[in-house]
Amino acid sequence: MLLLDLSKSMLAPLPDATPGQPERQKIEVARTAVFRILQDAAASGSLFGLVTFTETVRVAVPLTEIHRENLPYIENLISLLTPSGRSAIWDALAVGADLLRMGTQGVQGNLVLVTDGWDNASTRFDVQVPGGPAIAPGRIDLVPYMLPASSRVSLKIIGIGNGVEKDKGVDSVRMNYLISQMGVRAGQSGLPAIFSFQEVTTGSQLFAQMVNAFLDVGYEDDRPIEELHPEELARHAANAAKALKEPQQHATVSRINSAQLAAKSGPEAAYTETPDIEVDVVTTTGGTTPAYLKERYGPLGEVVEAYMNGQPELALSRLATAAPVLPPVTRLYWEARIQYSNRSVVEAARSLLQAWAEAEKLPPATQPKILRRLALLQARMQNDRETETLVRFIDDTEHRLGSTDPATRERLMELFGKLMELRGTYQLTRLAGSGDLQDAAQKHEEAVDHVFGLLQDARLELSANGPAVEGALDFIEICLAEMR
C-alpha cells in the first residue's frame, strides 16, 4: 500500500545526481516510480493499493490485484494526480492501516509513505513527541491504532528533502520518533518490528528508494520456453543436465546451490535492514530499445538505454554517475555486462567477480534471482551453453510462475534444488573406483528415484496449474532421465 503526498510542495523541483541533467519535479519522479511499481505488481500478480493525501485523504487505487489489461487505466489515473494544498500525513497513515486491517488479525501488509513535508492538516490522528504538547482531545494516537494485537505490518517512510527546518523538507524529527515509537510498541506486544525511515535529497535517490531495482536485459537469442517444440524442450533439458553432470566444466552452477534455489520468500523470511531488490528483465525484439526505460527505471534506465543503443562508453559514464544511488550488485553487474560487450574481457571478469561478492550479502528473498542473472552473464562470458540453458530455464520458470500461488512456486523451486543435488551422487558414479562403482551407482539411482517420486507427487497435486507448471515438470522429468 503506497501512501503518496500530493501537497503543493511536491511540485517543487528536486535536483538530480547527474550533472547537467534537468531538475525534475518531485511528483514527476514519484509518478514514474509508481508506474514501475505498478508494472511489477501486474507481472507478479501481487496486490497493490494507492492512497493519496493533501488535506484530504483519498483512496486512489483500492488494495487489489493488478491485471495487465487494467494497467493503462490506472497509469492514466496516476498521470492525472496533481498536487495542491497541505499534508494530512497521520490521517493518511491511518487510512492506509485501515485498508490493511484484517479483523482479529490486526493490520497485515506493507505500507510505504512518500512525503516531502510536515503534517499540517490531519484532523483525526496525531503522534506524540517527547517534550511536545499532549495529543489534543478528540485526536487518536496513531501508533497503537496502526499496531493492534496480532498485526504484521511493515512501514517504510521515504522523506524527501532535509526537513530539520519546517517547510524545507520532511519532518524528520517526528518521522524518526514515529518509527521508534512503533518499534517500542511492537517490542511490547511481541510483534515484528519492520519499520524504517530514509531521507532522500535528489530525484535519483527518491526513485532508487521507491524502486530498488536490478534491471537486466534479455540476450538477443533468447526464446520463450513456451515457444519451444517439445523436442527442443527435451534438447534444452538434455543440455541442462550436462551442466549438472560435468561440474568441472560448469563451475558456475555450483554458485547457484540448492539452498538458494529452495530459499523461502514471503512473510517467513527474516527481516533485514537491506531492502529487497526487485529484479526485472526487459526483453527486446529485433534489437529495439524498449520504451520508457529512463522513466521507469530512473538513472539505471539511462545506463541500459545507452548500452542498448550501442554506446558502451556513454553507458559506463552514466553508470559511474548513477553509482551512488544504485545497489552495488546492480552497478557491478552492469559494469561487467557493458565491459563484456565492449570486448574488455578482463575488466568484465573483475567486475563480475565483485558482483558475486556483493550478491552474497543480499537478503535471501532476492539473492537467488540475482545470482542467476550473474550466472547467466558468466556462462555467456565462458561460452558455457549448458549452464546458460539450465539457469535460463530455472529463471524463466520462476518468472512464468510469478502469478501462481507461492506454494506452487516454492514446490517447483524445491524440486529444481533436489535436481541440482543429484550432481553429487552422479559425480560419485564417475569417480568411484571399480570396486565401489556399483555402490555409487546404487546410491545415485536411489536418489534419482526419490526425486522422481517427488516429481510424481507434484504432478498429482499441481496438475491443474497450467502450462508453466507442466513445462517445468516436463523439464525436470527429462533432466532426471539424463542423469544416468
Partner 1 sequence: MPAVKVTTKTRRAPGTKREPKTPAVDSARIAVIGIPASGKTTYFRFLSGHFGLNLPILYIPARADGGQLPLFGDLENDVALEETTYETTDPTDPEGSLETTTRFYVNRPMEDRRKLWVELSAGRDEQGVLTKYPLPTKFNQFVEMKLRFRYGAPGGEGSKPLELNTIDEAGGIIADYFTYDRLWVESADGEVSEKSCRVIPHFDSWRPDRRDLWRRGLTLLGRFVFGADAVILLLSPALPSLRDQAQQVNLARGVFRYAKSHDTPLVIAISKADKLKEFYSEVEQTVRDRSFRSAFDPVDFLLRRDGAGMGTILVAQEGQGISVKDDVFLVSSAVSTGEGHPLFIGEGGQEAPSVGAQTMGVPVMVNTTLPLARACERILARRATKGG
Binding site for partner 1 (CB under 8 A): 230-231, 234-235, 237-238, 429, 437-438, 441-442, 444-445, 448-449, 452-453, 456-457, 459-460, 463-464, 470, 473-474, 477-478, 480-482, 484
- The three-class DSSP label of residue 360 is coil
- The three-class DSSP label of residue 4 is strand
Considering the complex, state which of residue 7 and residue 429 has its C-beta at the smaller distance from partner 1.
429
Which grid cell sits at 154? 511493515
Considering the complex, state which of residue 360 and residue 457 has its C-beta at the smaller distance from partner 1.
457
Considering the complex, state which of residue 74 and residue 478 has its C-beta at the smaller distance from partner 1.
478
Judge contact between 207 and 293, C-beta under 8 A.
no
Q: How far is the CB of 278 from partner 1 (least distance, A)?
A: 33
Distance CA 360, CA 329 (A): 9
- Contacts of residue 6, defined as CB under 8 A and 6 or more positions apart, other chains included, come to 27, 52, 53, 54, 81, 82, 83, 84, 85
Q: How far is the CB of 385 from partner 1 (least distance, A)?
A: 16
Q: How far is the CB of 68 from partner 1 (least distance, A)?
A: 24
Q: How far is the CB of 463 from partner 1 (least distance, A)?
A: 4
Which grid cell sits at 330? 546492480
Considering the complex, state which of residue 191 and residue 473 has its C-beta at the smaller distance from partner 1.
473
Q: How far is the CB of 390 from partner 1 (least distance, A)?
A: 16
- Closest alpha carbon to 33 in 220, 283, 209: 209
What is the three-state SS of 96-135? Answer: HHHHCECHHHCEEEEEEEEECCCCCCCCCEECCCCCCCCC
Q: How far is the CB of 448 from partner 1 (least distance, A)?
A: 7
Judge contact between 371 and 260, C-beta under 8 A.
yes
Q: Which amino acid is at 7?
A: S
Considering the complex, state which of residue 410 and residue 474 has its C-beta at the smaller distance from partner 1.
474
Considering the complex, state which of residue 364 and residue 466 has its C-beta at the smaller distance from partner 1.
466
